[in-house]
Amino acid sequence: MLLVLDIGNSNIVMGAYEGKKLLRHWRISTDRQKTGDEYGILFNELFRYQGIEMSDIKAIIISSVVPPLVVPLRKMCERYFRIRPLIVGPGIRTGIRLNYENPRAIGADRIVNVIGAHEQYGGPLIVIDIGTATTFDIVAENGDFLGGVIAPGLGSSAEALFQRAAQLPRIELVPPKTVVCRSTIQGMQAGIIYGYVGQIDEIVRRIKAELAMEMKVVATGGFARMVAKESQTIDKVDHFLTLTGLRVLYERNQA
């Protein structure tokens, strides 16, 4: 059984694969203060709750955009699973070309998303990951990474408004029924969510116009489903896109 770990700024998403089949998946909060032992105990409890033993895991691959957690989680894998994990980073075989000024500066999650999206849907594609930051990654027909866009995330934008405006409250991110609102909370929800959807749709339109091609648009991330319901450009939501990419990347590095 293969364990894939995607360490994001807000959440750690995990999946257990038997071959190409995703058997189990979990999502926990990213905690930079936790030690490798604490994560080991937490993983053990999650696994046992769903009928998996740590000894069932034969290989592990980790993608991280939180550098301080790489070493604790690597040590956790070695101590609790008796496995040295494969870490997504410089030197790993991706099987694609990275059309970027400094390929080492590309977030591991973006590379994994590109690989997973091309595996699932072919190309050309625009992959939108709606997380702490929102990334737009362009995938060529042959799977190569052509570049992209980085924007503030939906949650980050809402938190910034709460932090910087003394009289505005922290709000739940759900779309109101109308754009014209008669309460402060609904007005904030309308401005943040519909403004964010407009940003996504406009960036997608500009990408398509600049590259002069029609592309399928796939979204992933915690807010993807909500945003896709309001968007005019998102074609597909895939919450397991990153996990798929990690599985494919592991397979490419076993050849």
Average pLDDT, integer, range 142-154? 92
Eight-state DSSP code of residue 122 = -
Q: Per mean pLDDT, which of 95-109, 154-168, 185-199, 231-245 is the most reliable?
A: 231-245
Confidence tier at 61 by pLDDT (50, 70, 90): very high
**Confidence (pTM):** 0.87
Do 30 and 8 touch, CB atoms closer than 8 A? yes
Cα 202 from Cα 197, distance rounded (Å) = 9
Average pLDDT, integer, range 211-229? 93
Average pLDDT, integer, range 147-151? 94
Domains of the chain, earliest start first: 2-87 (3.30.420.40), 103-246 (3.30.420.40)
Average pLDDT, integer, range 59-76? 94
pLDDT at 29 over 70: yes
**What is the rounded average pLDDT for all residues in the chain?**
91
The three-state secondary structure class of 233 is coil
For the record, the structure tokens of 6 come out as 């995607």
Average pLDDT, integer, range 20-49? 93
- Number of neighbours of residue 241 by Cβ within 10 angstroms: 27
pLDDT at residue number 104: 85
Residue 144 annotated among the catalytic residues of the structure: no
Average pLDDT, integer, range 103-126? 92
Cα 80 from Cα 163, distance rounded (Å) = 40
Question: Which tens digits make up the pLDDT trace of 170-210?
Answer: 777 888 888 998 888 888 888 888 999 999 999 999 999 99
Q: Per mean pLDDT, which of 91-95, 106-110, 229-233 is the most reliable?
A: 229-233
Question: Which tens digits make up the pLDDT trace of 12-22?
Answer: 999 999 999 99
Residue set of the binding site: 6-13, 100, 107-110, 129, 132, 184
pLDDT at residue number 74: 95
Residue set of the binding site for substrate: 100, 107-110, 184
Do 58 and 2 touch, CB atoms closer than 8 A? yes
pLDDT at residue number 255: 63
For the record, the structure tokens of 66 come out as 């939180």
For the record, the structure tokens of 191 come out as 């401005």
Confidence tier at 82 by pLDDT (50, 70, 90): very high
Nearest to 118 by CA among 204, 4, 218: 218
Q: Which amino acid is at 254?
A: Q
Residue set of the binding site for K(+): 129
Q: What percent of the chain has pLDDT over 70?
A: 99
pLDDT at 132 over 90: no
pLDDT at 166 over 70: no
Pick the catalytic residue from 109, 137, 144, 238: 109
- Number of neighbours of residue 23 by Cβ within 10 angstroms: 15
